[in-house]
Structure 1
Amino acid sequence: MAISKKEIKRKLFHVFNGVITSTLIYFDILNWFILLLIVILGIILSFIAKNYHIQHLAFFLKHLDRDHDIRNFPGKGAITFMFGCFIAVLFFSKDIAIASILIMAFGDAVSSIVSKSFGRLKHPLNSFKKLEGTLLAILISFFIASFFVSYAEALFASIIGMIVESIYFHNKNFFVDDNILIPLFSGLTIFLLRLI
Structure 2
Amino acid sequence: MAENKMAKEIVKGKVAKSKIARAQNANGGLWFEIKRQLVHVLLGLLVLISALKDRESTLWFLLVLILIGVLLSLLQLKFRFALVESLLRKFEREKYRKRFPFKGALFFLTGCLLVLKIFSFDIALASIAILTFSDSVSHVIGLYGKRKNPLNTTKNIEGAFAGFVAGTIAGAFFVPFALAL
CA distance in 1, matches of 2:150, 2:43: 30
- Give how far 1:56 is off: 2.2
User: Secondary structure of the equivalent of 1:74?
Assistant: coil
CA distance in 2, matches of 1:147, 1:41: 31
Selected match of 2:171 from 145, 165, 175: 145
- Give how far 1:54 is off: 2.0
Selected match of 1:104 from 131, 139, 149: 131
Q: Corresponding residue for 2:115?
A: 88
Aligned amino acid, residue 96 of structure 2: D
Q: Corresponding residue for 2:74?
A: 47
CA deviation string 1:98-135 (max 9, x = no partner): 1101111111111111111x201110221111101111
- 1:125 matched to 2:158: no
Q: Corresponding residue for 2:105?
A: 78
Stretches of structure 2 that go unaligned for 5 or more consecutive residues are: 1-18, 24-29
Q: Corresponding residue for 1:7?
A: 33
Q: Corresponding residue for 2:27?
A: none
Q: Corresponding residue for 1:135?
A: 161
Q: What TM-score do the two structures reach when normalised by structure 1?
A: 0.75
1:56-67 to structure 2, matched below 5 A, reads 56-67=83-94
* Structure with the bigger percentage of helix: 2
CA distance in 2, matches of 1:106, 1:44: 28
CA deviation string 1:32-63 (max 9, x = no partner): 33312211111001011111132321111110
Stretches of structure 1 that go unaligned for 5 or more consecutive residues are: 156-196
Q: What TM-score do the two structures reach when normalised by structure 2?
A: 0.81
CA distance in 2, matches of 1:51, 1:62: 17
CA distance in 2, matches of 1:44, 1:75: 11
Aligned amino acid, residue 122 of structure 1: K
Contact 1:26/1:94 (<8 A) preserved: no
Question: 78-87 or 53-62: which moved more?
Answer: 53-62
User: Secondary structure of the equivalent of 1:128?
Assistant: strand
Q: Corresponding residue for 1:160?
A: none
Please say which structure displays the higher CA radius of gyration: 2
CA RMSD of aligned residues (A): 1.3
User: Secondary structure of the equivalent of 1:141?
Assistant: helix
Aligned amino acid, residue 76 of structure 1: K
